[in-house]
Amino acid sequence: MKELLLDTCAFLWLALDPDRIPTEAATLLNDTRNPRLLSQVSVLEIVWKYRVGKLPLPLPPEEWIPSRRKFFSILELPLSDSVIYQSGHLPGLHADPFDRLIAAQARERDCAVLTSDPHIRDLGARVIWGKK
Q: What's the sign of the alpha-carbon dihedral 57, 61, 65, 67?
A: negative
| 4-129 CATH pick, 3.30.390.30, 3.40.50.720, 3.10.20.30, 3.40.50.1010 | 3.40.50.1010
pLDDT in tens, 63-120: 999 999 999 999 999 999 999 999 999 987 778 999 999 999 999 999 999 999 988 9
State the Rg of the chain over Cα: 14
pLDDT in tens, 4-41: 999 999 999 999 999 999 999 999 999 999 999 999 99
pLDDT at res. 91 = 87
Whether 125 and 102 have beta carbons less than 8 Å apart is answered as: yes
pLDDT at res. 115 = 95
pLDDT at res. 132 = 58
Q: 58 CB contacts (<8 Å, ≥6 apart)?
A: 64
Q: Give phi and psi for 99, each to the nearest 5.
A: -65, -40
